[in-house]
Structure formats: structure tokens, C-alpha cells
Structure 1
Amino acid sequence: MESLDSVTLTAVAQIVWPLCRIGAFLATMFVFSGNSCPRMTRALLALAITVCMLPSIPDLPPHSDPFTLQGFVITIKECLLGLVLGIATLFVSQAFTIAGQVVAMQTGLGFASLVDPVSGTNSPVVGQFFNVLCTLVFFGLDGHLYFFRLLLESFRLVPIGQFFPLAGMQEFISFSSSMFKAGLTMSMSAICTMLVVNFTLGVMTKAAPQLNIFSLGFAITMIVGIVVILLSLGAFMSNFTNNFNDVFNVSCSLLGTSCDGVL
């Protein structure tokens, strides 16, 4: 018969280790990470989600002690696993933030900047606009619920004490560069349009030197830039859906399983 201390330690481990994975996930998850969500709120949310998920989390083997060296190693593994899963969700918005920064830089709207509440640094308003729009669509399509369900499945696919498969980590690292490609692809319309506008202004200046290119050029560039941003919003949903499905598929591969997107 197991001693009372052994049963108590196993019960503590059954709560602490899932809490480490879920808390680390929320610490880096899109929307909940950084300064956008107070730490106390994030901690209480992690505790509430842990309590809700406990009945579905596989039981630990007997004599599980979180206060030994082996228990400390498992705690580190759980924190790393949650951090990586949370970082994967950031890829949903980073492509749109990069696209907004490129568009702002090309259209002359880069001087209009705000303090990003997440990173604490100045970023163009266009990038902030895309980020806010991405956040609204993320919650509107229940993107957070899909990732919470994947987090719950991670306890079955990667049991407590284990780590990601090597193949999944390699695919995750290689995918991290694709957000720059996606952001550049979404901003190509603005880049090509502004190239044509700048070429036209150059021809006009050469044909009519009396034109004040500085006063005229900035106004035309910003007006065209705003029009391009408005026209590009029509493809926002399709871009978001494709990006979300790609990120979700990579997150599934990270856990050693496969999925064909959810949106």
C-alpha cells in the first residue's frame, strides 16, 4: 500500500506539471503574452484552465515526486513545451505585423507610430491596425479555442515527462522563416503600386521641373497608400485563414500528429 506522502506528492505533481505547461503556453500565446494581459490575470486563467483540463489529462504513474532532481527536469520540460506551443501561435499575427510595417514604410505612413503594448516599442500605425484586425478575427473565428483544444491533446500526444519529436522541432524551426515570406507576399501589392507611383512622379518631375515634388509627392504617396490598404482588406480573411491553417498544421506536426487545418 502506498504511503500518504507518496499519494500526496503524486497529487501535487498531477496539478503542478500541467499548470507549468499551460502557464508557459499562456505566457507566450498570441493576445495573452507580453503586456497586453496582466500577469495576475494570466496566472488565474492558467489555474482555471488547468482545473478544467485535469479530468481529461492522463494520470501520472505512482511515486511521482516534483521535488526531486528528476521532477525538476520534468518541470523544465513542461515549461519549454508550453513556451514552444505558445510561440507557434504568435506566427498567426506576425506575418500581418510585418506586412503592415512594410506597407507603412513604402507609402510614407511610417512616421505615424504608436507604442506597441505587447513589445513596448514604437511601431507604425498600419502594423498596429493589421495586428488589431488580426486579433478580432482570431477571436471571431474561435482561434483561441482551437489552440486550447490542441493544448489539451498535447497531454495525450506528448505525455508529461516527454518532449517534442525531433522531426516536429525541425519542421517548426524551418517554418519560423515563412512568416517573413507571408508578410512580404501580402505587402507586394503596395510595393508594386508605390513603385509605379514613384516612377510616374519621377517622369512628371523630369517633364515639368517647376512642380514641387516634395509637397506633391508626399501627398500623392500617402493617398495612394491609404487606397491600397483599403483595397487589400478584401483579401484579409483569405490570408488569415491560410496563415492560421499553416500555423495550426505546424503545431500538430510539432506534437507528432497531422491535421488538415480547421478553418
Structure 2
Amino acid sequence: MNALQQLLGDQLFVWMIVFVRIGTAFTIMPTVGDAFVSARTRLLLALAVSVVVAPAVRAQLPPVPGNAFQLVVLIVGEMTVGIFLGSIGRLLMGTLEVAGTIIALETGLSNAQIFNPAMATTGSLPGALLGWLGLLLLFITDMHHLLIMAVVDSYATFVPGAPIPIDDMANVVGQLVSRTFLLGVQMAAPFLITGLLFALALGLLNKLAPQVQVFQLFTSIQVLLGLFMFALTLAAMMVFWLSRFEATFIEFLKPL
């Protein structure tokens, strides 16, 4: 009976430690961690993945801690790794918000606000549309499998119980923030160029024909031209973002 109790206790400890990392990552990362996924569904998915993954990573887990303090330290470390993994995917989704905000400013739609699933907050109309399309593409292309596999494969990089490389994590997050802004500007580059040329043309028109109501002409044509450009470049922008999402996610999950 004592051997059976010890076996059950060890197995529960393995499930708990694996669930802490996976559950924390699933709470933050896009797709399974978004607001439209209920907390119960997210919890059941994390439990199911933990039960499946636990036997595969059991050899990499430390033994049962001898006291409560060591157990708390181990749990906090696993939560930190889960937050880091989920934040990588969430920051990559922020690229769509950056691009959408720039597009909204250049097309005159910055005053219209709507819920943006990519950032789980209120944002511009173009940003919300890009956010919904980004989530849809992640599911259509099975990219959410990459997110789940990245959490599972992280046990080879972040061994439970080992010291957490906080400096390396901070460097990765800093590089990823700059990469996110750069990709967002690259996606919105056609709108920046078109908006600059359009404003220059209207400025020249104002000098040549002061009697023309440039402001009224600018606001109406700006929206029309912006929607036309948005329709032309939407597919290319999403393909560009999806390829960079996959490449960047794999790059930042290489062993440190």
C-alpha cells in the first residue's frame, strides 16, 4: 500500500508540474488563450495535453521536492517559462495591431474603434480585421499546432528545476518587441508611401488652387483610396505576416 501511495503521489506531482507550464502558456498564447475561448475549454485542453505529455517528459522532471519552499520555487519557475512562451506568440500577434494602427491613421479610420482579438482590447477597425484574419489563418494552416509543440519542446530548452535564464529571456523579449514593430511598419509600408504622396499632391493643389476645399477633398478621397489599397494588399500582408510568424517563432524558440 505504501508503494502504491508513493507511485500515485509521484504521478500526481508529474501531472501538476507539467500542467503548470502548459496551463500558463495556454492562458496567454494566441488561439487557445484568446477571449473567445472559455476558461473551462482552456482548462480542459491544458489538462488533456498535460496528461498526454507527462509520460514523455517525466525523465526531465526533478524529483519530488523535500519541502514546501522548494515546491513553490519550482512552480514559480514553471509559470515563468509558461508566461515567456505564451508572450512570444502574443507579441507576434501585436504585429497586426501595429500595422492596423498605421493603416487606420493613413486611411482616416483611426477614430473608429472595435474589439481587437489579437490584443484582447479595443483597437482600430483595420487592426481588428487583421487580428481576426490572423487568428483564422493560424487555425486554417494548423499553426496552432506549432504553438502547442513549442510548449512541449520547451522542456529540452528550459529544464524544470534548472536555473531560469532571465537575462536571455529579457533579451529575447526586447528583440521580439523591435521585430514586431519592424514587421508592422513593413506590412503598412504601401499605405505610408501612398499617404505621403497623396498629402504632397493635395499640398501642391492647395498652393496652385487655393479656392479648392482641400480638407473636404482630402478626407473623402483618403478613405476611398485607403479602402482600395487595403483590398489590394490584404492578401499579401497576411501571407507576409504568416510566414514571418512561423519563422520568428521557430527562431526565438531555438535552444539558448
The reply to whether TM is greater than 0.5 is yes
Q: Aligned partners of 1:238, 1:118: CA distance in 2, in Å?
A: 17
Residue 36 (str. 1) matches residue 27 (str. 2): no
The answer on whether the counterparts of 1:13 and 1:66 sit within 8 Å (CA) in structure 2 is no
Letter in 1 for 2:221: I
Residue 82 (str. 1) matches residue 82 (str. 2): yes
Q: Aligned partners of 2:129, 2:224: CA distance in 1, in Å?
A: 17
Q: CA deviation at 1:145?
A: 0.6
Q: Is 97-106 or 116-125 further displaced after alignment?
A: 116-125
Q: CA deviation at 1:55?
A: 2.4
**Corresponding pairs, count:** 253
Q: Deviation per CA, 1:28-71: give whole Å up to 9, x if none.
A: 10123352322222111111111121221223455x14862101
Counterparts of 1:181-220 in structure 2 under 5 Å? 181-220=182-221
Q: Aligned partners of 2:62, 2:95: CA distance in 1, in Å?
A: 42
Q: Deviation per CA, 1:176-201: give whole Å up to 9, x if none.
A: 22111111122121111111111111
Counterparts of 1:1-263 in structure 2 under 5 Å? 6-59=6-59, 60=61, 62=63, 64-65=64-65, 68-116=68-116, 121-165=121-165, 168-175=168-175, 176-236=177-237, 237-253=239-255, 256=256
The answer on whether the counterparts of 1:89 and 1:247 sit within 8 Å (CA) in structure 2 is yes
The answer on whether the counterparts of 1:171 and 1:250 sit within 8 Å (CA) in structure 2 is no
Q: Aligned partners of 2:8, 2:87: CA distance in 1, in Å?
A: 33
Q: Aligned partners of 2:143, 2:191: CA distance in 1, in Å?
A: 28
Q: CA deviation at 1:231?
A: 2.1
Q: CA deviation at 1:131?
A: 0.9
Letter in 2 for 1:55: P
Q: 1:205 to 1:219 in 2, by over 3 A?
A: same
Q: Aligned partners of 1:206, 1:77: CA distance in 2, in Å?
A: 64
Partner of 1:260: none
Q: 1:179 to 1:18 in 2, by over 3 A?
A: same
Q: 1:227 to 1:118 in 2, by over 3 A?
A: closer
The answer on whether the counterparts of 2:94 and 2:119 sit within 8 Å (CA) in structure 1 is no
Q: What is the SS of the residue equivalent to 1:177? A: helix
Q: Aligned partners of 1:47, 1:193: CA distance in 2, in Å?
A: 49
Q: What is the SS of the residue equivalent to 2:211? A: coil
Q: What is the SS of the residue equivalent to 2:253? A: helix
Q: 1:144 to 1:223 in 2, by over 3 A?
A: same
The answer on whether the counterparts of 1:13 and 1:65 sit within 8 Å (CA) in structure 2 is no
Q: Aligned partners of 1:48, 1:145: CA distance in 2, in Å?
A: 14
Q: Aligned partners of 1:118, 1:135: CA distance in 2, in Å?
A: 7
Instruction: List runs of 5+ in structure 1 lacking aligned partners.
Output: 257-263
Letter in 1 for 2:108: G
Q: Aligned partners of 1:250, 1:11: CA distance in 2, in Å?
A: 32
Instruction: List runs of 5+ in structure 2 lacking aligned partners.
Output: none
Q: Deviation per CA, 1:212-251: give whole Å up to 9, x if none.
A: 2232211110111112212222422133202321122112
Letter in 2 for 1:242: R
Q: Aligned partners of 2:66, 2:143: CA distance in 1, in Å?
A: 33
- TM-score (norm. length: structure 1): 0.86
Q: What RMSD in Å do the two structures reach over aligned CA positions? A: 2.4
